[in-house]
């Protein structure tokens, strides 16, 4: 990665949009998504994106990128007056949408991953956990209104960024 890891970014993803399960998210993150597999896939065929982790609806975790390496999850982004959040953050994708409630299994795995990442990367401050929408406002909305920030705060025992 080069830079010190200081931030955790929570995202959501489903492929095709609103559909859960299946291999398509993993295919997207490994640049093997078949553009002919679904009409929506043609729109995103040229994307080269990744995340450090994906947490499925049942809590199953897939790691795509080492936390020592940069993943392409944040895009054009800014946090605490620093741009290019990919360079100093870890991306965790939750299988879901802005409007589908996340599962307790997902919150449990998210808590575990964050705690392990903080141990491995001690420069991640307790409150340095944000949504994609926090670092790319107006451009991104995830993890969305269905994400329970209070649940995550309670699990981690910290106060996170205030949200409207």
Looking at the domain assignment, is residue 76 inside a domain? yes
How confident is residue 159, by pLDDT bands cut at 50, 70 and 90?
confident
Least confident of 44-48, 100-104, 143-147: 44-48
> Could you tell me if residue 124 is inside a domain?
yes
- Which pLDDT score is estimated for 3? 81
Residue 49 covered by a domain: yes
Structural domain containing residue 21: 7-156
What are 96-144's pLDDT values in tens digits? 999 999 999 999 999 999 999 999 999 999 999 999 999 999 999 999 9
pLDDT digits (tens, 9 = 90+) for 130-139: 999 999 999 9
Tell me whether residue 93 is in a domain. yes
CATH of the domain at 14: 3.40.80.10
Q: Is residue 161 included in any domain, yes or no? A: no
pLDDT digits (tens, 9 = 90+) for 52-92: 999 999 999 999 999 999 999 999 999 999 999 999 999 99
Helix 149-156 vs helix 104-120: crossing angle, to nearest 10: 50
Rg of the chain on CA atoms, in Å = 15
Say if 163 falls within a structural domain. no
Is 62 inside a domain boundary?
Answer: yes
Q: E strands along 24-159, which residues?
A: 53-55, 61-63, 78-79, 82-83, 89-95, 129-131
Q: What's the residue count for the chain? A: 164
Q: Tell me whether residue 1 is in a domain.
A: no
- Report the number of distinct structural domains present in the chain: 1
Active site residue 93: yes
Catalytic residue among 27, 42, 87, 93: 93
Q: How far apart are CA 110 and CA 93, in angstroms?
A: 9
* Closest by CA position to 124, among listed 38, 28, 52: 52
């Amino acid at each position: 990665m080069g830079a010190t890891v200081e931030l955790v970014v929570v995202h959501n993803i489903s492929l095709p949009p609103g559909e859960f399960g299946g291999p398509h998210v993993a295919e997207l993150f490994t640049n093997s998504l078949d553009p002919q597999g679904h009409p929506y896939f043609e729109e995103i065929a040229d994307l080269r994106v990744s995340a450090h982790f994906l947490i499925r609806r049942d809590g199953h975790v897939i790691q795509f990128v080492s936390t020592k390496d940069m993943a392409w999850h944040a895009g054009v982004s800014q946090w605490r007056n620093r741009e290019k959040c990919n360079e100093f953050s870890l991306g965790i994708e939750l299988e879901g949408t802005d409007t589908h409630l996340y599962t307790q299994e997902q919150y449990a795995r998210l808590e575990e991953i964050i705690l392990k990442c903080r141990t491995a990367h001690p420069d991640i401050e307790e409150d340095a956990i944000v949504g994609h929408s926090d670092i790319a406002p107006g451009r991104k909305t995830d993890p969305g209104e269905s994400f329970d920030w209070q649940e995550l705060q309670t699990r981690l025992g910290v106060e996170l960024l205030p949200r409207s």
